[in-house]
Amino acid sequence: MLRYAIKRIGLGLLILIIVMVGMYAAVFLVPGDPAAVALGPRATPEMKRMLMERMGLDQPLIWQVVNFFRNALTGNLGIDVWSKRPVGTIIAEALPNTLVLGVASIGWSMLLGVPLGCFAVVYRDGWLDRLVGILSVSVIALPSFVVSIYALLLFAVKFNVFPAIGAGQPGNVASQIHALVLPCFAIGLGWVGYLARLVRASMLEVMGEPHIRTARAFGLPEWRVVFRFALRIAIVPTISLVAVGLGGILSSAVFVEVIFARPGIGSLIYNAVTSRNYPIVMGTVLVTTALYVAITITADLLIARLDPRVRDVFRD
């Protein structure tokens, strides 16, 4: 188990290094000078030189990368060009907002999607199954930014029951939860369908296995067969797919945070991209990629915990 974890973490670090080298190489190789683009056509050469220096873009490529990682190891992700504050601090301030948003979205969609998938299996080929099937495909297909805007239009502008912008007042948990409802709805809606489908498909697979027949042979009611015997196994492939899909949550978070003007990683990188703020972009990409890699590794280890067979394979 430990060896496996170390191997996965090693591979994750390698991927992080490749990604950052790729980013720096791209900046370095691209024709045209990023400072000129950032400052606009009226910038003097002196201003450009100073900006390049501040963003660390005046050094040879290899040094830029080495410096970045050397600093990143000590928690220093550089200094924001415009506000002159440490990038690490800015990200640390934004990250909790996005994490809360992501966890809350996944949370409500699991609470709804997993049981829906199970019900579809209990009543398979009935009208509920069909309805869940069509609704799932539909909500998976809907882009989260369209859902956000329609939800905003309906519940914030038309009926005025939820705030249209912001993340609530600091310190006031009730207002923060109130402000979280619409963004969570927009991000989680597609996930409800996605989870219902995943759970249904993997559950149907499991329901064909002999041990389910054993459970039925002992006269266990269908719902007990589904929830106690099948779900434990069917949830395993679902977890790994959810972990892979978390990258998608981040994408939705960018749109949702921009639309609802919520502070967070998504709106941070969006503003950094539009103002070509390299240190922030680099830092955010590093942090989010690291987070994503960490989540996928955690999911793999979680699967090993849930399935005693896998657990024993790793123990050797």
Query: Using CB under 8 A, which residues numbered 240 to 269 contact another protein?
Result: 241, 244, 247-248, 250-251, 254-255, 258-259, 269
Q: Give every CB contact of residue 1 below 8 A, 6+ residues apart in sequence.
A: 301, 304, 311, 314, 315
Nearest Cα to 108, choosing from 20, 181, 208, 200?
Answer: 181
Separation of alpha carbons 315 and 3, rounded Å:
9
Query: 215, 226, 242, 256: which one contacts another protein (CB under 8 A)?
Result: 215
Of 184 and 249, nearer to another protein (C-beta) is: 249
Tokens of 309: 């067979």
Q: CA dihedral defined by 94, 99, 100, 103, rounded to 10 degrees? A: 170
Q: Is 166 in the site for another protein (CB under 8 A)?
A: no
Q: For residue 128, how many other CB atoms are within 10 A of its CB?
A: 14
Of 166 and 177, nearer to another protein (C-beta) is: 166
Q: Could you tell me the CA-to-CA distances from 142 to 199, 207, 240, 246 in Å, in that order?
A: 20, 30, 23, 17
Of 82 and 150, nearer to another protein (C-beta) is: 150
- What's the closest the beta carbon of residue 202 comes to another protein, in angstroms? 10
Of 174 and 217, nearer to another protein (C-beta) is: 217
Separation of alpha carbons 255 and 311, rounded Å:
39
Q: Is 289 in the site for another protein (CB under 8 A)?
A: yes
Question: Which positions from 171 through 200 interact with another protein, judged by CB under 8 A?
Answer: 194, 197-198
Question: Which positions from 13 through 52 interact with another protein, judged by CB under 8 A?
Answer: 14-15, 18-19, 22-23, 26-27, 30, 34, 37
Question: Which positions from 107 through 126 interact with another protein, judged by CB under 8 A?
Answer: 124-125
Given a contact cutoff of 8 angstroms between Cβ atoms, the answer to whether 5 and 315 are in contact is no
- What's the closest the beta carbon of residue 268 comes to another protein, in angstroms? 11
Q: Is 224 in the site for another protein (CB under 8 A)?
A: yes
Q: Is 296 in the site for another protein (CB under 8 A)?
A: yes
Tokens of 215: 């459970």
Q: What are phi and psi of 86, to 5 degrees?
A: -65, 135
Query: 233, 256, 303, 304: which one contacts another protein (CB under 8 A)?
Result: 233
- What's the closest the beta carbon of residue 298 comes to another protein, in angstroms? 14
- What's the closest the beta carbon of residue 282 comes to another protein, in angstroms? 8
